[in-house]
């Protein structure tokens, strides 16, 4: 019973650690792409229509960010929070993939490494679509390796 309980507690603790580290590190000056993303989100929130930059990246992140920002305004900290949430949620399919390919211990070490890896922590707080794409890509890989290719697509 103890072994069955130990891994979910460890995974939950590592996910919480990853969340806390990312929230602590989420304040930074916006880079060029991030500023363009925020201007595109601002245009959507204020009813200014679609800017040319909207079509430079997959639009789901921009649309979701605009929908969430609409009631609160175009605050970049809120949009950074969306990136953080998707980054942290991507730990779930990553754990499932690693556990399936290797074992629980390897999956735990992988999650812990990714939770505190400085580049991943930094990149997870950017106003960009990459954490969302990583989240969906990892679920796609998980469904593919578990013989559910239709869900993978």
> What does the pLDDT look like over 73-108, one tens digit per residue?
778 888 999 999 999 999 999 999 999 999 999 999
Tell me how far the alpha carbon of residue 117 is from its chain's centroid.
15
Q: Which residues does 77 contact at the CB level (< 8 Å), separation at least 6?
A: 26, 27
Q: What is the mean pLDDT of residues 1-28?
A: 85
Average of per-residue pLDDT values in the chain: 89
The pTM (predicted TM-score) of the whole model is: 0.89
pLDDT value of position 139: 96
pLDDT value of position 3: 64
Length of the chain: 153
> What does the pLDDT look like over 112-122, one tens digit per residue?
999 999 999 99
Provide DSSP, 12-73: HHHHHHHHHHHHHT------HHHHHHHHHHHHHHTT----GGGGGS-THHHHHHHHHHTTT-
Rounded (10°) angle between helices 32-45 and 60-69 = 60
């Amino acid at each position: 019973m103890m072994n069955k309980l130990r891994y979910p507690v460890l995974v939950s603790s590592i996910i919480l650690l990853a969340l806390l580290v990312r929230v602590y590190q989420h304040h930074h000056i916006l880079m060029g792409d991030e500023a363009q993303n925020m201007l595109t989100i601002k245009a959507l929130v204020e009813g200014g229509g679609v800017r040319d930059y909207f079509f430079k990246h997959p639009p789901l992140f921009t649309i979701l960010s605009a929908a969430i920002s609409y009631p609160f305004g175009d605050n970049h900290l809120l949009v950074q929070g969306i990136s953080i949430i998707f980054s942290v949620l991507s730990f779930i399919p990553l754990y499932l993939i690693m556990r399936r390919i290797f074992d629980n211990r390897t999956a735990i070490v992988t999650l812990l490494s990714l939770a505190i890896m400085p580049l991943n922590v930094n990149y997870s707080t950017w106003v960009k679509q990459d954490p969302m794409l990583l989240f969906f890509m990892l679920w796609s890989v998980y469904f593919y390796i578990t013989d559910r290719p239709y869900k993978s697509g």
